[in-house]
Structure 1
Amino acid sequence: MKSLAYMHPEAASYLCEVGFERWARAYFPGHRYNVMTTKFAESFNTLVRHARGLPITMLIEFIRDTFPVTPWVKDKIAKRVRKSSNLEVRSITSDRYQVLNSGQYDALVDLTECTCTCRKFQLSQIPCMHVIAVARYMKLTTCIQWVNPYYSTTFYHIIYVDAVNSLGDQSKWIHLEGARVIHPQYVHRRCVGRPVNKNRRPSQ
């Protein structure tokens, strides 16, 4: 916001006036998801990158065993555990803790409300590094109890329990009378290379 106010004061003023909850996900009162991509193929390839060299039968077994678990969450927590190693925790009450970074105030954790002032805990429903530091301060060996149930293996099983049926033989599909076929819009392919600038004044 400081950088925006320096570069474009009017834009920064407008964003402050409309309220952070109108445009910043961290302050939105409801739950919004941060998945802003449709590149499922890339995500899937990243998941199986270590198993792509296996025989096809072993690859299928790897995929089948991987889907019901949430390795992404485990990896996320592991990274936050490393980030929390230098944090200091001070108890306020049995449920509220102040977290310091290099002796300076960094965040306030409320385990009753499951909130942290950094707001990552509320957004992802996964313990942030401040909550993990509090768990370490409480002599806990894990912080899984604060992970939202929809990241659990059981929840994944429920999501994928229904079968996905085949579409069947296309020649036997029922076609509606008067149905109009809508073709995708034609997109002109740009030529390879840098486009010619036609607005340049010719040399004198």
Structure 2
Amino acid sequence: MWHLGQNIKTKFSGKGLKKLFEKTAKAYRVSEFTKLFDEISTKKPSLATYLKNVSFAGWFRCHFHGNQYNIMTTNNSESLNQVFREAREWPIIPLLEEIITTLSRWFYERRTNANSCSTPLTVDAEDIMRQRYKKSRYMRVTPINLSEFHAKGEPLDGLVNIKEHSCTCREFYIDKIPCVHGVAATMYRGVDVYSLRSKFYMIEFWRMAYAESIYPLPPEIEWLLPEEVKSQVIIKPVKLIPPRRPKNK
């Protein structure tokens, strides 16, 4: 979605196209997506054609087949490559030491943050729940049976199934956190709203992710190398130097 948005900025002229594209990509309901995509087709037919040639499952939230958990992901290798943009020019041992030191610091900081958190959910998930709770107080809930409820308002109605953890707005199913309609239904039914979230949002799982410690590399004199490793002869790789000035010293 991010890369497509950048392409739209450079390839297509028109006010508000990128913002409209992002709104379309983040739509939960298929009906909402269809309405927004029709708007794109009206404003910029060439952009609609361009987007149709890209797999809808690759950038439309409502057409994605997996579980996104409302998290934007990127290639870890690209992120780490940027972090170690200077260290990657070093010899292999200092480079490894820099990677270990950085990861050890990250794990310590995030482990400290996780251990100091006192809420049932992670910080971001807790903020989402609080915002949805505030909105749910202005909704009207009509029970259909013991597990299904019709929640009206904000801005569209939703048919909630507490037993199946789903809602017609699809936020409950995609994000694995009760949507506004789901929160209103659980409050009406007297069910603990925290019991309907994915376990991966729980603070315990956040702490488990950084529970392990990363230790520094010991001095070379203390390395224990097997004989089959010591006996290997490592020769210098063949490297062809192009006939132009090198980019880096």
- Long gaps (5+) in structure 1: 42-58, 188-204
Whether the aligned pair in 1 keeps the contact of 2:111 and 2:210 (CA below 8 Å) is: no
Gaps of 5+ in 2: 1-36, 84-108, 226-232, 240-245
| Aligned-partner Cα distance in 2 for 1:100–1:21 | 30
2:64 to 18, 28, 33: 28
Are the counterparts in 1 of residues 161 and 167 from structure 2 also a CA contact under 8 Å?
Answer: yes
Find 2:145's aligned residue among 75, 83, 93. Answer: 93
Checking the alignment, whether the CA contact within 8 Å between 2:114 and 2:206 is kept in structure 1 is no
Cα pair distance change 1:114/1:85, threshold 3 Å: same
The CA RMSD over aligned residues, in Å, is 4.0
Give the count of matched residue pairs.
164
* 1:5, distance to aligned residue in structure 2 (A): 1.7
Query: Please, which of 130, 140, 146 is the counterpart of residue 78 of structure 1?
Result: 130
How far apart, in 1, do the equivalents of 2:145 and 2:151 lie? 13
Q: What's 2:236 paired with? A: 178
Residue equivalent to 1:48 = none
Closer/same/farther in 2, CA of residues 36 and 155 from structure 1, 3 Å limit: closer
CA pair 109-67 structure 1, distance change in 2 beyond 3 A: same
State the SS of the aligned residue for 2:186: helix
For the Cα contact (< 8 Å) 1:68–1:157, is it kept in 2? no
C-alpha separation in 2, matches of 1:186 and 1:87: 62
One-letter amino acid of the structure 2 residue matched with residue 122 of structure 1: Y
Offset, 1:92? 2.0
CA separation of 1:12/1:172 partners in 2, compared to 1, >3 Å: closer, same or farther? farther
In the alignment, which residue of structure 2 is the partner of 1:109? Answer: 160
Q: What TM-score do you get using the length of structure 1 for normalisation?
A: 0.61
Which one has more relative contact order, counting CA pairs under 8 Å at least 6 apart? 2
Report deviation, 1:162.
2.2
Query: 2:172 is matched by which residue type in structure 1?
Result: F
Once the two structures are TM-superposed, the CA of residue 98 in structure 1 deviates from its matched residue by 1.6
- 2:62 paired with 1:4: no
